[in-house]
Structure 1
């Protein structure tokens, strides 16, 4: 008798109990008791499934699944040239999708699978009907989150596209062999249903994933590539591969590589093309509809060559795009019926593509003119906002207590550090002159080993556990780190397993357990009440399995020259335990399964590069409390900044989608964004100039001076402003806000102030160099440009006081009590506050009707698009985006006022600025800070406002933001 497969039995019980709970309409209240009753019912029907069944694990997983919630994706689309086609009749008997759905339901909750079904329907519906005979071309972009399941989305889309009739499916899977192989393996499981270890046409088939046990073998798709490291499209395959339209769909999983894409293009033209165009002589395919999926579409696919345009906006037809971009476009242009869908978590470079870019050979550029779909993240997704929190009036809030600051890599002139921010290709990492790891990395490795031990004790034996060490982009330096880490892990293993000189190791581990793991899990059990982590085992239990964990650890180098790859697929029933050390291969696309601990020192400041390096984002079921991120203060600050900016961009997207705008209009918005401009300079199509609009934006000074000269200068700028605008329109202003009357006690308000007064203030005010977003020269130039066109001409100025601070005279006859804002103690070079603007202050100029309209807009978008629990109450105050939109472009029954900008001034107590550095001169002036709320514009391209030019060169760019890698 064959042995009982307890994992298979557990999956069967999970699936059947989940279906019974759904049929019983118990979605709203799935309790442990209800689950237990259904388990008993299932086991009565099939007693053999009860063999070694872990009922607790089944119960925990079902509670986790039924507590999941997912918001609805948001979309922007253009209907030009599109014929709506996807309906219920077309979806009858879709076998590829149905078997994929059934397979996914074994692993995911009904909520997640339903959301996947809905979102892939949305994307497919934006494409063209593959049965439509005339020529068509659709290009779109799907924006997900880093490590959020984009592969699952495009696998589902491929299944549905094949069911609908797409015949050639090309997946562009990164730049490296191991990422291409990883993608192939996932498509083997999700779409093909068999392992592509043999060549096309072979009778030897190993059914996997959705095709397990030979399910629907009669519809088995064809595939021209395989899962081996050398399984990409090659000359031998190109020479012998021939297809006809009667055959089942063909899948090509290929790298973004010049040789591979050239071979594929040549094969299309020489073997698949069936028509020669009479006027051009081009060989094209008219009988096979094409779908191209571009994974990590912002990487390598974007033309960085900068096509020129004439005075009428016509593109230079002789432009030669960069090679990868050119080949992708030529492949699309070789089909009369084609669809392109880019997938990315960092869409900034794609949005910068010129919407009218085109050449004769390549056809149009890859701008997503047809649609952009913004996927919603499930509630169990751990992304930047979850890890680092978001900035609020009370400081950064909502972050998880999982980040550990690496202090021993902060450069100091008197001592070299193990891995300086700037180092050469030949750098030899040394800690205090010794060939050993720094204490922070020793602790990170300890934390990873402890996490693996706890996961083992929690029954996650068959789950992978990974650690990421990402500290340099240089291959030689990575090899040195690999050598040091391997030796360190070997020493731990020997000491623990042999018991020789092990006291120091056990003492260090136990201290980390008591001071870090125990309190962190306790905090998360309290803060994550809806899905708390399991209790920690005893320290004695951890000790009992620790040796086995050490014996399993594999330290692996993953970079462009490493022969080894992370082979999760062939690890058997026991999960891999791996410490991955690498560079670019780990920086983008490659998934580290079960990532528990990250040690991250890379210093790029470009938003898309940093986000893609954040491999720790994703899903951590059953071990979130064990995860750790070891990184520097600078990178923590930047990731927090990214979390804020990305959240703002998504909010902008939701608002514009609700307003019915198109991808081109959103593209213009992103291009003019004063923060999210930060991608590779080349990808932004300009080596010398950036053109920025601040329309619809909010800016605030949070990096401030401590130096007397600058503080006195800014105090003078405020005095002269108040002197020039005269008596306040209101003192202690108040406004009706819903059912309450909001008061700004101790504050002053001026209305209808001329733009010239604000420009003069900004021209005299000096912003700190660390305030990269708030550049007074750019702001004053922008206001002057807009005022010449009739906008931003009449300003509201608010001077925000308080009721309990020390009183200071800041203008002729104007005294306020100073606000007290604590500085960040980890930032030594300047006074850094978390946030300046209180959200309620930004709406101080709105009437009751305008405020209510902004609140209505906020609630509409929130209800339609937000990722939120279904029982969460509606917002009680309008969002900042809605405030600026209603002010500038109005709302039903509300007159727009694009002429009305808002300058909000704060006077901060200098005592707080010097709190971390000691005493300060008695005559130190108050610290003047400001925020500006710009209304949305009705001028320029598609209501996005005019743009002011900002000059920058490549040297300055790399000094500020690092290289593009």
Structure 2
């Protein structure tokens, strides 16, 4: 007999290879399966319309391309040459599992394959001889599928020849156990709680149960049991050693003693004395370390001591876990380290040169940073909270109407309560949230999602004793609600059914309507109150209550509930990172942290909500909503900066990174993780804004050429030097009019013409930027190509194209201008003053002062526009490509945004040429 899941699998298999999957194509394939089922089982109960909507939802997921910051000088490309020689057994098995068991569409699995190829090819060839070391970072979104990504990477790495895989899975045993469970099912194929070493008799799960698949040999020296972390004695008993013919997996906590035992075991079993440094190292065994939540516990938070000249001392002490991870990597001849995180704030402030003899290099992702795009069906911070500021070039987005402000919690759970605090009772907002959870569970039942998991998060305190008291109060409330739903309300004047109906009509109906206007999800269907009413008791009766913390014995194991687990989860720190709450619908969250990364990681409500995002509710304070909106803006801005740098072909070490700070005391991350960061106030004032990525299509190139040609022609006579044509005292209105006409590539984010125009107009109101110097730059080299622009013969400027595929034209190292060009409009006196300021600040005596100092001596009333007609050959165009650079003077009246910047950013602004 074919059930719903089997029918879905058959249809998804039929859709493989379809170029365009429309509703009509899906309906056609469903009809074929329906005919098959009807002949076998005429009375079958499959909801075929729901199946069509389900498959449409899975297939209409759009995923963008990842962007990469790369460093390849120490890397030998290998994957294209070896790809056809590798038997991709683990990966192909995982592909099939995602399609058949998880219901992923063909194109989603293909895109995962592309992303994991991007990462794998940046690791080293495991067959490469000699010593090598690769360190990278993958940035995703909270709850967006990073585990699926690194599971796919592990499968491919093992297929390619990596023999030892170590996954660093958080600091809590529950998260470690959850990660092991996932890898048991999706990589190993057997239950490690029963047997860690591979055995044909092992209990097969996940990929191990796929019909017709070979049971692949791989061992684990850790298990999914609560106490299944690495143990040296158990490892010896298992009798598996790294570097044999079979791959070995370890999933371990970030714990000093665990990592120390692991290191000692590996070195004692396979270590050899290294001739160069006398240390024992493991040779010939390629090691892959996956650091899940790489910004948590892995960062060295100790200060880096400097000598009297500001140089780092050769050896210093680091924090325990950071030191153990570095020593582990330093003790292997061939290593690849990949950190995964959704909140890379701490990682970008790692000091790249922080190497010591004892620990080796720090964990700065010097080899690559990959920014993973979120799929179109991902419900992330921007969709939940919205983005309302666009001054930094971040697109605004309307938040979903699922947040419910809580203002009655001060007497229930004060911010500064102690561990012996006794809550006086549940506030009305939490009672309402529990009722909302029952309604959401019942509605999902009516929508055909009865066997799906449902979770409610209650996160209001980190103290375990207070959590227990809170659990007692919630348990009493649940019992009260169940009894009234089962037996009726008795003599009460406020019937529960009527209360729930009011909540349904006042909240749920309107929210569903508004969500459907914002999100296209065919699984969200309108339903009748009477149907929901019939399911209320079943929904409430199914709900369990669990406390998840370091002392409670409750375990959150969704595997034990094939018909769906409905659970209210009360917890604190253990719910703050990594732990997945399946089917999370209602969150009651008051726990305050003042750190961006901690707050964002506490947001367990992010993720995928097919068919029920309209039923989700977040009950929290107005203050926390404001904080989350700011952090969302800062996060999106940082991701945009990653994309911008990647478009320019840079390396992780090349570019400075910045994170917007909060005006009311939020911290980007723990203060001790940002010791190398510097706070700066940034705006367009005092900055050079360049177009560094360009369109290459004929229409855009010719349009910009014609706009500049007309603009220069209208300027009339000019002065000049070194071939440059210069016009002074140009009114700002002329510049803003030019900005309305030019087209800038979206990857030149800082040079967004509309935002530049708005800034200039705002400064004009402050009686600044009233006049401009305009310079048309000309290449004076004898062999330079020439063109006639605005009636002037100019030499075309030659710039290398960093985009090897020539899909766009981007500047190598991200700069359009030459260092001396910014001084075109300065007097000798101003140049001397800029040099003096730079010497005073840096101790350097340069011939050419850095751009920051040049802009510091220019009058706030005067801006500089440099126009670069670029040689069309590198761009593959017929007309010259027009480049623009805006040099803005410093201003005391301009709106400034405070950022924390890393050392590279500061150096680029004030330490050298930009």
Same fold (TM over 0.5): yes
Query: Match of 1:664, SS?
Result: coil
- Matching residue of 1:401: 401
- Matching residue of 2:473: 484
Does the Cα contact within 8 Å between 1:221 and 1:250 map onto a contact in 2? yes
- Picking from 374, 380, 383, the partner of 1:383 is 380
- Picking from 444, 462, 468, the partner of 2:457 is 468
Query: Which consecutive residues of structure 1, in runs of 5 or more, have no partner in the other structure?
Result: 412-416, 431-435, 700-726, 756-780, 799-844, 861-890, 906-929, 948-965
Once residues 730 and 318 of structure 1 are traced to their aligned partners in structure 2, the CA distance between those partners, rounded to angstroms, is: 55
Structure 1 pair 698/110, CA: closer, same or farther in 2 (3 Å)? farther
Structure 1 pair 187/193, CA: closer, same or farther in 2 (3 Å)? same
1:12 CA displacement: 2.3
1:72 CA displacement: 0.5
Is it true that 1:204 corresponds to 2:193 in the alignment?
A: no
1:276 CA displacement: 1.6
Does the Cα contact within 8 Å between 2:732 and 2:770 map onto a contact in 1? no
- Matching residue of 1:147: 143
CA offsets per residue over residues 355-409 of structure 1, 9 Å max, x none? 0112222211111111111100001111111111111479975110011100112
- Picking from 216, 220, 224, the partner of 1:223 is 220
CA offsets per residue over residues 404-461 of structure 1, 9 Å max, x none? 100112x5xxxxx11112222222222xxxxx20011111111111000001111112
1:308 CA displacement: 1.9
Is it true that 1:438 corresponds to 2:434 in the alignment?
A: no
Once residues 276 and 110 of structure 2 are traced to their aligned partners in structure 1, the CA distance between those partners, rounded to angstroms, is: 48
> More deviation in 245-254 or 212-221?
212-221
- Matching residue of 1:263: 261
Once residues 633 and 377 of structure 2 are traced to their aligned partners in structure 1, the CA distance between those partners, rounded to angstroms, is: 19
- Matching residue of 2:90: 96
Query: Match of 2:639, SS?
Result: helix
- Picking from 645, 659, 667, the partner of 1:656 is 645
Structure 1 pair 791/189, CA: closer, same or farther in 2 (3 Å)? same
- Matching residue of 2:796: none
Does the Cα contact within 8 Å between 1:286 and 1:335 map onto a contact in 2? yes
Query: Match of 2:567, SS?
Result: strand
- Matching residue of 1:943: 908
Query: Which consecutive residues of structure 2, in runs of 5 or more, have no partner in the other structure?
Result: 688-728, 743-752, 773-836, 842-849
Is it true that 1:584 corresponds to 2:548 in the alignment?
A: no
Is it true that 1:735 corresponds to 2:737 in the alignment?
A: yes
Once residues 162 and 155 of structure 1 are traced to their aligned partners in structure 2, the CA distance between those partners, rounded to angstroms, is: 11
1:541 CA displacement: 1.3
1:752 CA displacement: 5.7
1:739 CA displacement: 5.4
Does the Cα contact within 8 Å between 2:329 and 2:335 map onto a contact in 1? yes
> More deviation in 316-325 or 341-350?
316-325
Once residues 276 and 466 of structure 2 are traced to their aligned partners in structure 1, the CA distance between those partners, rounded to angstroms, is: 56
Query: Match of 1:256, SS?
Result: coil
Structure 1 pair 122/937, CA: closer, same or farther in 2 (3 Å)? closer
Is it true that 1:316 corresponds to 2:308 in the alignment?
A: no
- Matching residue of 1:521: 512
Query: Match of 1:598, SS?
Result: strand
1:228 CA displacement: 1.3
- Matching residue of 2:247: 249
Is it true that 1:58 corresponds to 2:85 in the alignment?
A: no
Once residues 386 and 797 of structure 1 are traced to their aligned partners in structure 2, the CA distance between those partners, rounded to angstroms, is: 40
1:271 CA displacement: 1.3
Q: How does 1:924-943 map to 2 (within 5 A)?
A: 930=895, 943=908
Is it true that 1:455 corresponds to 2:451 in the alignment?
A: no
Structure 1 pair 672/794, CA: closer, same or farther in 2 (3 Å)? farther
Query: Match of 2:856, SS?
Result: coil
- Matching residue of 1:122: 118
- Matching residue of 1:911: none
Query: Match of 1:630, SS?
Result: strand
- Matching residue of 1:536: 526
- Picking from 841, 856, 865, the partner of 1:792 is 856
Once residues 932 and 315 of structure 1 are traced to their aligned partners in structure 2, the CA distance between those partners, rounded to angstroms, is: 31
- Matching residue of 2:610: 621
1:14 CA displacement: 3.2
Is it true that 1:507 corresponds to 2:507 in the alignment?
A: no
- Picking from 412, 420, 423, the partner of 1:429 is 423
Once residues 576 and 697 of structure 1 are traced to their aligned partners in structure 2, the CA distance between those partners, rounded to angstroms, is: 55
Is it true that 1:574 corresponds to 2:567 in the alignment?
A: no
- Matching residue of 1:818: none
Structure 1 pair 933/584, CA: closer, same or farther in 2 (3 Å)? closer
Structure 1 pair 61/696, CA: closer, same or farther in 2 (3 Å)? farther
Structure 1 pair 654/103, CA: closer, same or farther in 2 (3 Å)? same
1:656 CA displacement: 1.1
Query: Match of 2:338, SS?
Result: strand
CA offsets per residue over residues 187-216 of structure 1, 9 Å max, x none? 112111222122234553222222224654
- Picking from 523, 532, 539, the partner of 1:549 is 539
Is it true that 1:78 corresponds to 2:75 in the alignment?
A: no
- Picking from 666, 683, 686, the partner of 2:673 is 683
Does the Cα contact within 8 Å between 2:177 and 2:224 map onto a contact in 1? yes
Structure 1 pair 193/795, CA: closer, same or farther in 2 (3 Å)? farther
State the TM-score, normalized to the length of structure 2.
Answer: 0.77
Once residues 540 and 231 of structure 2 are traced to their aligned partners in structure 1, the CA distance between those partners, rounded to angstroms, is: 41
Structure 1 pair 932/247, CA: closer, same or farther in 2 (3 Å)? closer
Once residues 684 and 369 of structure 2 are traced to their aligned partners in structure 1, the CA distance between those partners, rounded to angstroms, is: 21
- Picking from 17, 28, 39, the partner of 1:37 is 28
Query: Match of 1:546, SS?
Result: helix
Does the Cα contact within 8 Å between 2:662 and 2:898 map onto a contact in 1? no
